[in-house]
Homo-oligomer: A and B are copies of this chain.
């Protein structure tokens, strides 16, 4: 997934004086990008974002956000969540699975029941993401 940029290889015969080194297009005269800045930009763009994105994806769903908000108040078993969310078990289970895989929630078994609770990681996430 890590991309290596070789912009120089793409430079066309660009005649503009304001063209940034390694950038084939003629960038507008109103702003200049120093080679140093461009280097920094390339660096941050090369950083791996897959963890960040995976976390965001797990959160980016109304059902899942509501589940997290609920679990922030109390640990809840699936049967109670099903009633609160007014949905099928299988549907709820799918979303619980997504949250679990993302490490945001966990469950403990009590006989037939599974009681879900926020992980510390999940707690932190929803706090920093401003979900209350």
Which of A's residues lie within 8 Å of B, judged by CB? 1, 3, 5, 7, 10, 20, 22-31, 33, 37-38, 40-42, 44-45, 47, 49-50, 52-53, 56-57, 59-62, 65-66, 69-70, 72-77, 79-80, 82-86, 110-113, 115, 128-132
Contact = CB atoms under 8 A, between A and B. Distances in A.
Given A76-B41, A79-B23, A115 B28 contact: yes
Contact of A56 (B25, B59, B111, B128): B59
A101 to B, nearest CB: 15
Given A62-B50, A70-B41, A83 B115 contact: no
A80 B5 contact: no
